[in-house]
């Protein structure tokens, strides 16, 4: 510290823990990181200054609070991969100078860049581009930020022949500075921040090419999107690529066909079909859902799929959600197919007068909804145009809010743990387009925060990402491959009770408005089933498995015994199939394993004579001989415990 003081004036920097660190005036954030520790100086990727990300080469300012993000942080990964996308774009421009640049952001686990070029990128091209990226990395070009006026930036990219960049600049306020980043001969329009140099990127891999409309609109030109990923170390990217291969093997669309669970027809894109085995799983999910909701004091309703325009205007969907809805006319009046179940619950509520003594009133619905999705984003069961939401709406008194939110949190936790998921939580606040006053929103946000604090649940704050009628808590579950899926949500709503004129008679006889919670746990039955299919790799736990036990005969003389066993298993409520085909038993066993049946019962002369069953358990193998009753007791125990 004395050496620093001798070289110039010192300025105070506030660290994450509130302590003060002094550095030389004119030092960069990278200097500050290196001064704190040699390791941090090496691993820091970006500075987070008063909550805003800044380049490490930016000059440090006194009295500002700073923390440094490494690759272990989401912000650090985003900056790392954003710089990787610039590396990709520079390589493409070197190899294909006529290619026009569009956008290139970081995404979960990777990055992409969109290009407009007559050349159709192939797998062989990706290998060439990777080699060029390695050269740029080796050159270790400094990544330098510059700021230009609006006019200067337009002139620069017009000169470079980059029409998409010019269009983006023209969308920006004319009186604001425009930031660009340079590395070697390459220049890109970008808000930043970025890594200090191209050599900071460790290892990268280009993964695939896909089509993408400019600005996501089907009215615009189709561009070519190159996807890639990057990591600091080779072992990390190898592990990621291995997970990607496993994800392909577990793809629910592939398994859905192989296991005869579900599918999507050309005659109904985005509208999934459930086959008998898929319906078995679906009915088990719905049965579990109903049972748990009945225990928790919910009452189930069913609301119509088609409702009038006036209803959707009152709910706010006509103004805030119209582009996602389907419409039709009935007797010259406008109607819409419901995209959400909420208005139906409020119509039910208004069916009669309510007393404060009835609260909390918990109303549940497995409601079919339809939402317009562009064809390019449809994806098996994960992104569809019709789906069944496991909705519930809770009407309550203001003083009951915290307890009800805690009750929903506990239920969501129970559901996810039953399926073997861990999860993380995010709290989203008032969006730009919202209904209701700031005062109402502040009250709602404070109530959600209080519930999370009572449960001691850590959460990430998403400013401005709430629903248009209220803030929300989102639950992101993690599957067996480490992927994150947003499923459960709790939305606190003071607005719709006003819009729908919901009232109750209070203890003093006056009319007051209830508070309302919207919540789902699965999110949608369809998507959750798709997630489960990939989470389990098609090997569903026995309580969900479409076929729980398969009986295999060694020879035709064992068929009568097999039929008798099947009858007894069916009487016990166990889902059973018999394979008495004239095939080798080894072939039947392999086929049963491919079909991922939890238990295979092999019946030969010895089993018939001793009146036993030879049991093979999925992923375990031969379990030996059991009496039928022993086997039934074991299976029913596993089913009841949902193991």
Residues known to be catalytic: 342, 371, 389, 391, 393, 472, 518
Residue 359 backbone phi and psi in degrees, to 5: -85, 150
d(CA 452, CA 338): 31
Other C-beta atoms within 10 Å of 514: how many? 23
Q: Which residue bears the tokens 């008063």?
A: 50
Q: Tell whether the torsion through CA atoms of 121, 125, 130 and 133 is positive or negative.
A: negative
Secondary structure element (H or E) that encloses residue 46, with its range: strand 46-49
d(CA 387, CA 393): 18
CA distances to 62, 427, 486 from 364, rounded to whole Å, are 55, 23, 20
Of 459, 450, 468, the closest CA to residue 427 belongs to: 459
d(CA 447, CA 440): 11
Of 220, 169, 366, 373, the closest CA to residue 283 belongs to: 366
d(CA 319, CA 333): 18
CA distances to 183, 200, 493, 551 from 140, rounded to whole Å, are 9, 8, 52, 64
Other C-beta atoms within 10 Å of 24: how many? 18
- Which DSSP category does 513 fall into? P
* Bridge partners, 478 (sequence order): 422, 484
Angle made by CA atoms 454, 455, 461, in degrees to the nearest 5: 90
Please name the residues in contact with 128: beta carbons below 8 A apart, sequence gap of 6 or more: 95
Peptide bond into 29 cis (omega under 30): no
């Amino acid at each position: 510290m004395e050496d620093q003081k001798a070289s110039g004036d010192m300025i105070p920097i506030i660290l994450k823990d509130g302590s003060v660190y002094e550095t030389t005036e004119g030092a960069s954030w990278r200097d500050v990181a290196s001064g704190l520790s040699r390791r941090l100086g090496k691993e820091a990727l970006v500075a987070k200054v008063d909550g805003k990300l800044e380049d490490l080469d930016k000059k440090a300012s006194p009295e500002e609070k700073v923390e440094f993000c490494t690759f272990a942080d989401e912000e650090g990964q985003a900056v790392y991969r954003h710089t990787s996308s610039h590396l990709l774009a520079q390589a493409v421009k070197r190899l294909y100078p006529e290619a026009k640049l569009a956008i290139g952001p970081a995404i979960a686990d990777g990055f992409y860049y969109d290009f407009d070029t007559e050349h159709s990128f192939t797998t062989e091209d990706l290998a060439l581009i990777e080699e060029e990226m390695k050269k740029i990395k080796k050159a270790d070009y400094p990544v330098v930020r510059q700021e230009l006026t609006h006019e200067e930036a337009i002139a620069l990219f017009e000169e470079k022949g980059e029409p998409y960049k010019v269009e983006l600049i023209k969308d920006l306020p004319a009186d604001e500075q425009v930031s660009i980043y340079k590395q070697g001969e390459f220049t890109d329009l970008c808000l930043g921040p970025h890594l200090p140099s191209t050599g900071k990127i460790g290892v990268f891999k280009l993964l695939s090419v896909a089509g993408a409309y400019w600005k996501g609109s089907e009215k615009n030109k189709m561009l070519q999107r190159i996807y890639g990923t990057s990591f600091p170390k080779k072992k990390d990217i190898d592990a990621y690529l291995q997970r990607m291969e496993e994800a392909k093997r577990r793809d629910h669309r592939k398994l859905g066909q192989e296991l005869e669970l579900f599918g999507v027809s050309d005659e109904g894109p985005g509208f999934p079909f459930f086959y008998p085995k898929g319906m078995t799983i679906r009915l088990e999910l719905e049965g579990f859902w109903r049972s748990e909701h009945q225990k928790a004091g919910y009452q189930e309703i069913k609301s119509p799929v088609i409702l009038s325009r006036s209803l959707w205007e009152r709910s706010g969907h006509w103004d805030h959600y119209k582009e996602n809805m389907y419409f039709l006319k009935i007797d010259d009046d406008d109607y819409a197919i419901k995209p959400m179940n909420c208005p139906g619950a409020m119509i039910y509520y208004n069916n009669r007068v309510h007393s404060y003594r009835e609260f909390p009133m918990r109303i549940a619905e497995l409601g079919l909804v339809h939402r317009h999705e562009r064809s390019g984003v449809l994806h098996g069961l994960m992104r569809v145009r019709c789906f069944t939401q496991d909705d519930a709406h809770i009407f309550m008194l203001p003083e009951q809010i915290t307890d009800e939110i805690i009750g929903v949190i506990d239920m969501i936790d129970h559901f996810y743990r039953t399926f073997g998921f861990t999860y993380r939580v995010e709290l989203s606040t008032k969006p730009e387009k919202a209904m209701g006053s700031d005062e109402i929103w502040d009250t709602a946000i404070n109530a959600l925060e209080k519930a999370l604090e009572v449960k001691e649940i850590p959460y990430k704050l998403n400013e401005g990402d709430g629903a248009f009628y209220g803030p929300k808590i989102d639950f992101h579950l993690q599957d067996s491959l480490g992927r994150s899926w947003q499923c459960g949500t709790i939305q606190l709503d003071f607005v719709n009770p006003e819009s729908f004129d919901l009232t109750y008679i209070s203890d003093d006889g006056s009319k007051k408005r209830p508070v309302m919670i919207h919540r789902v746990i699965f999110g949608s039955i369809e998507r959750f089933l798709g997630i489960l299919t990939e989470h389990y790799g098609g090997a569903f736990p026995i309580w969900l498995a479409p076929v729980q036990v398969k009986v295999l005969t060694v020879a035709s003389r064992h068929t009568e015994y097999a039929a008798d066993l099947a009858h007894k298993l069916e009487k016990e409520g166990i889902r059973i199939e018999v394979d008495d085909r004239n095939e080798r038993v080894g072939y039947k066993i392999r086929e049963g394993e491919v079909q991922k049946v939890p238990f295979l019962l092999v019946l030969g002369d010895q089993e018939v004579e001793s009146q036993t069953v030879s049991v093979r358990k999925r992923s375990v193998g031969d379990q030996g001989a059991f009496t039928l009753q022993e086997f039934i007791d074991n299976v029913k125990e596993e089913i009841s415990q949902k193991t």
